[in-house]
Amino acid sequence: MKNNNRNKIKNGQVKNSLLLICLIAFFVSCNNAKKEEQNKVVSTNNVSINLDKLIKDCENQLKIAVPKLTDLTKHPRLIDTDKKEWKEVGNHKLIWTSGFYPGVLWYAYDVTGNERWKNEAIKRTEVFEDFKNITEHHDIGFMMFPAYGNGYKIGGKKEYKDILLTSASSLASRFNPNVGTIRSWSNKMHPRWKQHITIIDNMLNLELLFWAAKNGGDKKFYDIAVKHAETTMKNHFRKDLTSWHVLEYDSINGNVLNRHTKQGFADDSRWSRGQAWGVYGYTMVYKETKDKKFLDFAQKLADKYISLLPEDMVPAWDFDVQSNPKEEKDASAAAVVASALLDLSTFVDNKADQDRYFNAGVKMLKSLGSDKYSAVGKADSFLLHSTGAKSLGHEIDVALIYADYYYIEALSRLKKLESQQ
């Protein structure tokens, strides 16, 4: 009897212990699930933009715009304030924006899988193959990479490789080893400066060189790109990590002669898109080199840029005029930085840094996709309220094709990040 009781008690104790263990395990797992959920909420909360809708908006805008854009000798560049339709400009070798429209179409194919955009992209890309020989300015990178580079990467158009390699060679021909940078502009078109001119925008063109070095091109393309990034890092930035737009170097000894602007408010001001090119440029240079000094610098530039932003995450066209609410916005700068920050968030190890860049990038996209900046129902672009060159008196508060390009690139990056979660 006693033994039986003992056994019963023992069995009971075992059962109770098992129950206790189960209960503990249950609570621990609930707690973990809660923690995971909380983590998820942090990221999902910040991706509380409706990405599918933003992509659908872009596709619907293209369905309206594309049938109107039939002249292959031209490409859409801007939509004037209060107008609905794209103003087209000739596919001319001196016009830096030729590659963005095909680039938009490649990304539209990327995010929707709709073959219509691929076919249209091919058509719009292949009209300016001869631009691969441009040696008159640095913009060959901006022109060729969004079109042919995306055609190669997104569209699987391997036959674009030689065109890209020739383009890289043309760009590299403008590198001046005495200075350590690529010469951006010609003096003829920009007579204020007499010697070697490098502008901050030039950072973006380095992507073509990195790509070419990795894809069968001359290894010196890589060295040129790195040298350009290092020289620019040394000379183009103020102590507060904002940048000048235009630097004039002595072509022979490489000394900095002048620090000026062309599109900013003043020589010493902080032109917003220029700051955006810096953030994007150094993020991309880190991606290509994995050299920590470029990551550190990209982070510093990003943090500085974020610290200057107004509530809606879209800067005025120059940070030095931003305190005046009447000054126009530049949505293009916001789109460039949104795309860069989403990339940057994947390169940093620290969770706080990851969240800071990811959240800022998403907030920018959310703002750009809102009624305030979206062109849906108003004009044929994706975005409104960009400013190309107010200091020169043109492209003020308009839609710009490169704003749309970096916007859809950012949406594509966000879609890829989401699918990895």
Residue from 263, 299, 322, 359 touching ligand GLY (CB under 6 A): that is: 263
In the complex, what is the shortest distance from the CB of residue 261 to ligand GLY, in angstroms, rounded to a whole number? 12
Residue from 124, 273, 304, 413 touching ligand GLY (CB under 6 A): that is: 273
Residue from 201, 327, 330, 409 touching ligand GLY (CB under 6 A): that is: 201
| Cα dihedral 144/318/203/260 (nearest 10) | 110
The answer to whether residue 201 is catalytic is yes
Of residues 99 and 388, the one with the C-beta less far from ligand GLY: 388
In the complex, what is the shortest distance from the CB of residue 262 to ligand GLY, in angstroms, rounded to a whole number? 9
Can you read off the two tokens belonging to residue 186?
């010609």
Long-range contacts of 186-189 (CB under 8 A, 24+ apart): 186/136, 186/137, 189/94, 189/137
Q: Which listed residue (82, 130, 162, 201) is catalytic?
A: 201
Collect all residues with Cβ–Cβ distance below 8 Å to 210 and sequence separation of at least 6. Answer: 221, 222, 225, 284, 285, 288, 289
Residue ranges of E strands in 58-126: 74-79, 87-90
In the complex, what is the shortest distance from the CB of residue 306 to ligand GLY, in angstroms, rounded to a whole number? 20
- Mask: binding to ligand GLY, 90-109, rule CB under 6 A, as x and -? ------x-------------
- Mask: binding to ligand GLY, 368-397, rule CB under 6 A, as x and -? --------------------x---------
Q: Does 262 bind ligand GLY (CB under 6 A)?
A: no
Residue ranges of E strands in 109-225: 175-176, 181-182, 196-199
Nearest to 203 by CA among 287, 303, 279: 279
In the complex, what is the shortest distance from the CB of residue 239 to ligand GLY, in angstroms, rounded to a whole number? 24
Q: Which listed residue (52, 71, 130, 139) is catalytic?
A: 139
Q: For residue 93, which phi and psi values (nearest 5 degrees)?
A: -65, -10
Of residues 110 and 330, the one with the C-beta less far from ligand GLY: 330
SS3 content of the chain, % helix, strand, coil (to 5): 60, 10, 30
What is the H or E stretch that residue 298 is in? helix 292-307
Report, as residue numbers or ranges, the catalytic residues: 139, 201
Q: Which residues bind ligand GLY (CB under 6 A)?
A: 96, 201, 263, 273, 388
